[in-house]
Amino acid sequence: MIAELKGQRPVVCEDTIPRLGRCSCGGLGRVLYEPAPEVACLKCEEKVILESRPFFRSPASQREHEAWRAVIAWNDLKGC
């Protein structure tokens, strides 16, 4: 995605790969894949767990898909 602001150079935003934002406590988040994909804060242990209906045939691909969705949900909740 390329965003252009008036009078400024274009800004390229990579929005195809979710980036894990910090928790509201300032701690770093981490992604765990088993048993269900979750994002948890290393400092305060707040969590986002996300499960979705099967979309991929491969269990590994399904877990990766759910983990990415958990990262997006984490960032939405944390205002990142």
In a domain, 72, yes or no: yes
In a domain, 44, yes or no: yes
In a domain, 2, yes or no: no
pLDDT digits (tens, 9 = 90+) for 41-53: 999 989 988 878 8
Strand, coil or helix: what is 55?
coil
pLDDT digits (tens, 9 = 90+) for 2-35: 444 566 666 555 556 677 888 889 998 888 877 7
In a domain, 30, yes or no: yes
User: Could you tell me if 42 and 26 are in contact, meaning their C-beta atoms sit under 8 angstroms apart?
Assistant: no
Residue 43 is encoded by which pair of tokens?
């400092």
Report the predicted TM-score, pTM, of the whole model to 2 decimal places.
Answer: 0.68
What is the distance between the alpha carbons of residues 71 and 73, in angstroms, rounded to a whole number?
5
Number of domains into which the chain is organized: 1
In a domain, 43, yes or no: yes
Residue numbers of the domain that contains 66 = 20-78
In a domain, 11, yes or no: no
In a domain, 29, yes or no: yes
